[in-house]
């Protein structure tokens, strides 16, 4: 239980954990009676390296998002309460559904073309809204976008602003570009500039969004650099922006040819320029028309609540074993060692597949193997 000035929060389940804090499913307790509505509580330990603290910037961005007109904040969760105890800081916000990455794992197939396009349009809209309040996300990827629950099932929410950065000064002018910085993002989805440790701008968020869109279309071959060393990843990303890429064997046939117009546009975009989000949306809409794709079709996960809830229940059981270990951006064999160790020690344990081995933001980091992709024999649960 956590008692605040206004509410008593009961922790129902730990949803995830990292090196600096945890995320819990919580509910209010009123007059000793737990209330039915669930929320998400994110905590951050007060002790530790200050450079790794993320909650302050997350709160700032979330509060800023909700100064937008109602029509432009639908892709952001609401911040209900925040505070601190002796040992940690915390925030309470809307509880949303699984990430787009997790949804696709549950469905065990690529998104349909319509769903891929709709996800592309919704996530681009969220990115445009974030940029409009003067912030960059800097870690655009499917794992940082979640579907809603119940009546918001068809809305995609943008999450995780822990490495967001203001790109505008208070007077609305562009902040001066730094000549050199630290790596920010996730190797699989980050922009070319991120690989070069350059200052990131709106263009780079949109470039990461483009890679994510390719991944929506084809989870297997959409990004041919999955699981490869960072140097190879960078070289392959550079090839995407060459004229011959669309006819090369690296190019997935699942990606509509019209997306080449977006590739060319992003490649010509200057650091200081505002992306033309409307143009990019129009390219997708026109591609849908040419391909006779219905952008109002039912999303692939709509009506799949029973399946999603089943996975959540499985995760609750397996949360008894959460695997923590340090990893390095250039080390992609971790899942074999950990899977082998736990497989022989605790029975059947299947960790996340190798394609997720580079899903982390900084090196070294802490990667958590949880049961989005593992099963633990019931006899091992205590």
20 DSSP assignment: S
Token code pair at residue 96: 């949303």
Of 207, 271, 206, the residue nearest 237 (C-alpha) = 207
Task: Report the distance separating Cα 48 and Cα 335, nearest Å.
Answer: 27
Task: Report the distance separating Cα 43 and Cα 55, nearest Å.
Answer: 8
Task: Report the distance separating Cα 99 and Cα 17, nearest Å.
Answer: 16
Residue 364 pairs in a beta bridge with none
- b/e map 160-199, b = 16+ CB within 10 Å: bbbbbbebeeeeeeeeeeeeeeebbbbbbbbbbbbbeebb
Backbone angles phi, psi at 9, to 5 degrees: -105, 130
Task: Report the distance separating Cα 374 and Cα 64, nearest Å.
Answer: 37
Catalytic residue set: 139
Q: How far is CA 93 from CA 53, 181, 212, 249, in A?
A: 18, 31, 25, 45
- CB within 8 Å of 341: residues ≥ 6 apart: none
The answer to the question of whether 228 is labelled as a binding residue is no
Give the HSE-up count for residue 281: Cα atoms under 13 Å, Cβ half-sphere: 15
Token code pair at residue 111: 């998104």
Say how many residues make up the chain. Answer: 382
The rounded radius of gyration (Å) of the Cα atoms in the chain is 21
Indicate the annotated binding residues for ATP: 42
Indicate the annotated binding residues: 42
């Amino acid at each position: 239980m956590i008692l605040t000035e206004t509410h008593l929060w009961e922790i129902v389940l730990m949803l995830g954990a990292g090196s600096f804090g945890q995320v819990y499913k919580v509910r209010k307790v009123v007059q000793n009676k737990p209330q039915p509505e669930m929320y998400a509580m994110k905590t951050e330990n007060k002790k530790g390296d200050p450079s790794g603290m993320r909650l302050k910037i997350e709160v700032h961005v979330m509060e800023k998002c909700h100064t937008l007109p109602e029509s432009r904040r639908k892709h952001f969760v609401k911040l209900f309460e925040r505070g601190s105890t002796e040992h940690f800081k915390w925030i309470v916000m809307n509880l949303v559904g699984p990430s787009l990455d997790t949804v696709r794992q549950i469905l065990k197939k690529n998104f349909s073309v319509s769903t891929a396009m709709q996800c592309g349009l919704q996530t681009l809209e969220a990115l445009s809204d974030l940029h409009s309040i003067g912030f960059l996300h800097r870690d655009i990827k499917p794992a940082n976008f979640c579907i809603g629950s119940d009546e918001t099932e068809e809305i995609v929410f943008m999450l995780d602003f822990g490495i967001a950065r203001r790109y505008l000064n208070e007077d609305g002018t562009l902040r001066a570009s730094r000549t050199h910085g630290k790596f920010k993002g996730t190797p699989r989805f980050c922009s070319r500039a991120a690989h070069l440790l350059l200052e990131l701008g709106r263009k780079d968020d949109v470039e990461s969004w483009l890679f994510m869109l390719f991944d929506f279309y084809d989870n297997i071959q959409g990004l041919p650099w999955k699981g490869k060393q960072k140097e190879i990843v960078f070289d392959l990303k550079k090839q995407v922006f060459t004229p011959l890429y669309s006819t090369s064997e690296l190019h997935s046939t699942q990606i509509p040819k019209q997306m080449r117009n977006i590739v060319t546009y992003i490649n010509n975009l200057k650091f200081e320029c505002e992306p033309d989000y409307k143009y990019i949306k129009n390219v997708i809409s026109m591609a849908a028309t040419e391909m006779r794709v219905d952008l109002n079709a039912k999303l692939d996960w709509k009506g799949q609540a029973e399946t999603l809830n089943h996975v959540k229940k499985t995760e609750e059981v397996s949360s008894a074993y959460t695997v923590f270990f340090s990893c390095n951006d250039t080390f992609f064999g971790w899942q074999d060692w950990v899977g082998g160790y736990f497989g022989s020690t605790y029975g059947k344990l299947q960790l996340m597949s190798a394609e997720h081995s580079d899903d982390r933001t900084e090196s070294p980091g802490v990667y958590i193997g949880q049961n989005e992709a593992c099963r633990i024999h019931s006899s091992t649960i205590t």
